[in-house]
Amino acid sequence: MIHPLLPNQLQKTQETMRMAAEFILRPISRKYDKAEHEPPVEMEQLNQAAAAQKKDSEIGDDSVKSMDLGGRNLWAVISLEQMCWGDVGLFLARPGTGLGNAAIMAVGDNEQKAKWGKRWAAMAITEPGAGSDSKNISTTAVLDGDEWVLDGEKIYVTDGDRCDCVVVWATLNKSMGKTAIRSFLVEKGTPGFSVARLEKKLGIRASDTATLIFDNCRIPRENLLGGKEEIETDINAAKKSFGGAMQTFDNTRPMVAGMAIGLGQAALDMTRALLAEEGYEQNYGGSMHHQTAIQSELEMLEAELEAARLLVYKSAWMMDNKMPNSKEASMGKAKAGRIGNKISLKCVEICSMQGFSEDHLLEKFSRDSKILDIFEGTQQIQQLIVARQVLGKSSQDLK
């Protein structure tokens, strides 16, 4: 879909990434869904296409000043939307960038961004006893001379086995709650850092999801992202430090929401194609009283998907233009995650056995869609964040 509000540069990105999704991802989608944990070697072609398109579009920090319509984050959302129209799991398995890269760019200083910004970085937050409530993180980081010592377990780490490095969230002082949470860069191969297991999953099977163990894992002092290890005695300063770490989500939630939009669009497109093969005639623009139940259902789903798309584009545009976007990022993630899952399940239902069969990808879309409503914050967490923003409440006031 070419969106009329986007400048020509970003429309070109849409076209290029859609072609890559159709001719690189779709043909191998089923292969790697069945070959779980097998690295998709073909993804290097997609890397080359994305790199060439990014260079041609010249979307970067400088262009934000001259092009009011969007910059790096909006470019990323649109690229992800189109690639996930092809296959969500394969996109997540693409070598080069991960969720940890967003943390490096959000929290790291200039030297850290230059050193690690282009490495393949996973992000390790979730623990057996701490999911969406990240302030309950129990993985510890203790300063010992010129080294940090990390101890703890992280679960459900996307690309945790294949990545080059991991951004690990840990606490400097458990008794201080969220004000003591910091993020650290740990490179693969560091003694004390190991992959305990890979999860078998309902969807996104092409992407590895790992459990990581940190046992007396020693990293250099400069691997603390942001470079400020002290826990400030001033509570406002401490909250600001934690807020810097949480800013990662303001970057990544629009990206995950864009993935959900791409999947939802893929399910709708495939459903219309399958219906057309059966002789079903579309009746766009006709009176609702003369529409079939299926046509009415599809048009309502498309309307909801477009509403989610505009919310997500806005949140990415705000980030590009240095505007606080926490509320908008959560609104877009909540809307897109929910509607992507709803669309994929409804499309399976509409297409009946063709939707349920492995002859088509609709059943895979429905399996892949649920994780997009869960990771980077569940539906309930997003609604809580939005409520706090709208009502002007703190996390202590509204839990």
Q: What is the pLDDT of residues 20-46, one digit of tens each?
A: 999 999 999 999 999 999 999 888 776
Based on the domain organization, do 260 and 367 belong to the same domain? yes
Residue 371 has pLDDT above 70, yes or no: yes
Between residues 280 and 327, the one the model is more confident about: 327
What is the spatial distance between Cα 370 and Cα 379, in angstroms, rounded to a whole number? 11
Averaged pLDDT for residues 249-259:
92
Residue 175 has pLDDT above 60, yes or no: yes
- Statement: residue 178 has pLDDT above 50: yes
Angle of the 326-350 helix axis to the 235-277 helix axis, nearest 10:
20
Q: Give percent of the chain with pLDDT exceeding 90.
A: 64
In a domain, 2, yes or no: no
Question: How many other C-beta atoms can be found within 10 angstroms of the C-beta atom of residue 121?
Answer: 26
Condensed to tens digits (0 to 9), the pLDDT of residues 90-103 reads 999 988 878 899 88
User: What's the mean pLDDT in 304-309?
Assistant: 96
Percent of the chain with pLDDT over 70: 85
pLDDT band at 61 (very low <50, low <70, confident <90, very high): very low
| pLDDT given for residue 113 in this prediction | 93
pLDDT level of residue 10 (50, 70, 90 thresholds): confident
**227 and 191 share a domain?**
yes
pLDDT for residue 394? 85
- Look at 53 and 361; give whichever has higher pLDDT: 361
pLDDT band at 150 (very low <50, low <70, confident <90, very high): very high
Q: Looking at residue 249, what is its pLDDT?
A: 84
Q: How is residue 193 written in tokens?
A: 């850092």
pLDDT recorded at residue 335 = 97
Question: How many Cα atoms are found within 13 Å in the side-chain-facing hemisphere of 280?
Answer: 18
| Mean pLDDT to the nearest integer, 78-94 | 94
- Find tokens 């806005």 and name the residue: 314
Cα–Cα distance measured from residue 161 to residue 208, given in angstroms and rounded to the nearest whole number: 7
Does residue 228 sit in the same domain as residue 243? no
Considering the domain architecture, whether residues 232 and 243 belong to the same structural domain is answered as no
Query: Same domain for 205 and 256?
Result: no
Q: Is the pLDDT of residue 60 over 50?
A: no
pLDDT tens for 155-167 read 999 999 999 999 9
Task: List the helix and strand counts (H, then E) for the chain.
Answer: 14, 7
Same domain, yes or no, for 342 and 362? yes
66 — pLDDT class (breaks 50, 70, 90): very low
**Residue 222 and residue 268 share a domain:** no
Residues 296 and 280 in one domain: yes
In angstroms, the CA 246 to CA 231 distance is: 16
Which of the listed residues 96, 129, 160 is the one where a domain comes to its end?
A: 96
Q: Residue 135: what pLDDT?
A: 75
67-76, 97-106, 211-220 — which one is most confidently predicted on average? Answer: 211-220
Answer whether residue 63 shows pLDDT above 50.
Answer: no
| Residues 277, 180 share a domain | no
Task: Give yes or no: residues 382 and 248 share one domain.
Answer: yes
Catalytic residue set: 376
Token look-up 């993020």 returns: 183
Question: What whole-number distance in Å separates Cα of residue 77 and Cα of residue 320?
Answer: 11
> Is the Cβ–Cβ distance between 331 and 386 less than 8 Å?
yes
Tell me the C-alpha to C-alpha distance, in Å, between residue 52 and each of 16, 48, 114, 210: 10, 6, 21, 31
Q: What tens digit of pLDDT does each residue of 379-394 get?
A: 899 999 999 999 999 8
CATH code of the domain in which 268 resides: 1.20.140.10
- In terms of domains, do 370 and 255 share one? yes
Which pLDDT does position 235 carry in this prediction?
47
Per-residue model confidence (pLDDT) at position 52: 66
At 27 the pLDDT is: 96
Give 390's contacts (C-beta < 8 A, 6+ positions apart): 327
Of residues 48 and 182, more confidence is placed in 182
Q: Which residues contact 189 (CB under 8 A, 6 or more apart)?
A: none
72 and 57 housed in the same domain? yes
297 occurs within a structural domain: yes
The domain boundary, picked from 214, 237, 260, lies at 237
Identify the domain containing residue 64 by its residue range. 8-96
The chain-wide mean pLDDT, for the chain, equals 87
The pLDDT score that the predictor gives to residue 179 is 84
Reported as a pLDDT band with limits 50, 70 and 90, residue 232 is low
Which CATH number goes with the domain that contains 121?
A: 2.40.110.10
CA nearest to 109, candidates 250, 272, 222, 268 = 222
pLDDT of residue 247: 73
Report the greatest alpha carbon distance in the chain: 75
Task: Determine if the pTM surpasses 0.85.
Answer: yes
Question: 11: pLDDT confidence band, cut at 50, 70 and 90?
Answer: confident
Number of domains in the chain: 3
How much is the average pLDDT of 261-290?
Answer: 86
